[in-house]
């Protein structure tokens, strides 16, 4: 089963490159489910996406397995390409590589959106699925505690700053192109604000100081 093989590849790559749970299998699974939700909505108006469904899901799952925060990006792309041999068609492998190498927040802010021709809509679905998964405030705290070795309060403070400066401005920065992505982001925006409030209350619990 391709899905099982993809999960195993993510687990092995995470161990190899010390990818913590904020960018590991759990995040990949969340991105996959968001990608599926966006696909199911967008394919109604864009039926050509039906032929690209597998590329969308594979890209959503593997997008962080070449993250430059954890490894050399080119090496990660090569490992992904090697893994996908005989699992996807050559054109699908090329499309997957093009999507995951151009979809990160920092890359888009620096270079804008790429022109991926017939895979442009698929690209936005995958990219937006990652943005939607980024509304998980706990994930941001986990990253700071794992990678930056932050204590709980510092992790909360740094994560809150990232959310105020970046995540909660995704719509203002016009990062959502699909109607379904924008709609979902509004819901998750409110969820993230409530989560930050809950954590602020928890940080002030006298019994936990």
Domain boundaries, the chain: 2-208
Cα separation, 190 vs 168, whole angstroms? 9
Give domain 2-208's CATH number out of 1.10.3210, 3.30.450, 2.60.40, 1.10.3470: 1.10.3210
Q: Would you state the pLDDT for residue 188?
A: 98
Q: How confident is the model at residue 1 (pLDDT cuts 50, 70, 90)?
A: very high
Do the beta carbons of residue 80 and residue 66 sit within 8 Å?
Answer: yes
Indicate the Cα dihedral angle 205, 166, 22, 104, nearest 10°.
Answer: 180
For 127-138, the pLDDT digits (tens) are: 999 999 999 999
| pLDDT, tens only, 76-112 | 999 999 999 999 999 999 999 999 999 999 999 999 9
Rounded mean pLDDT of 161-166?
96
Distance CA(61)–CA(173), nearest Å, equals 25
What gap in Å lies between CA 27 and CA 127, rounded to an integer? 13
The model scores a pTM over 0.85: yes
């Amino acid at each position: 089963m391709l899905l099982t093989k993809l999960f195993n590849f993510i687990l092995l790559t995470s161990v190899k490159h010390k990818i913590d749970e904020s960018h590991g299998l759990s995040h990949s699974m969340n991105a996959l489910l968001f990608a599926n939700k966006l696909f199911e909505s967008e394919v109604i108006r864009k039926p050509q996406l039906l032929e690209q469904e597998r590329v969308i899901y594979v890209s959503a799952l593997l997008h962080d397995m070449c993250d430059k925060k954890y490894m050399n990006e080119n090496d990660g792309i090569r490992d992904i390409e090697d893994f996908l041999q005989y699992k996807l068609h050559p054109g699908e492998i090329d499309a997957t590589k093009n999507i995951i190498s151009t979809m990160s927040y920092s890359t888009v802010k620096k270079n804008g959106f790429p022109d991926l021709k017939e895979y442009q809509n698929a690209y936005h679905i995958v990219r937006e699925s990652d943005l939607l998964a980024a509304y998980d405030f706990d994930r941001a705290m986990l990253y700071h505690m794992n990678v930056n070795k932050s204590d709980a309060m510092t992790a909360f403070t740094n994560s809150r700053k990232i959310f105020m400066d970046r995540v909660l401005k995704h719509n203002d920065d016009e990062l959502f192109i699909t109607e379904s992505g924008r709609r979902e982001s509004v819901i998750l925006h409110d969820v993230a604000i409530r989560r930050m409030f809950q954590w602020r209350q928890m940080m002030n619990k006298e019994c936990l100081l």
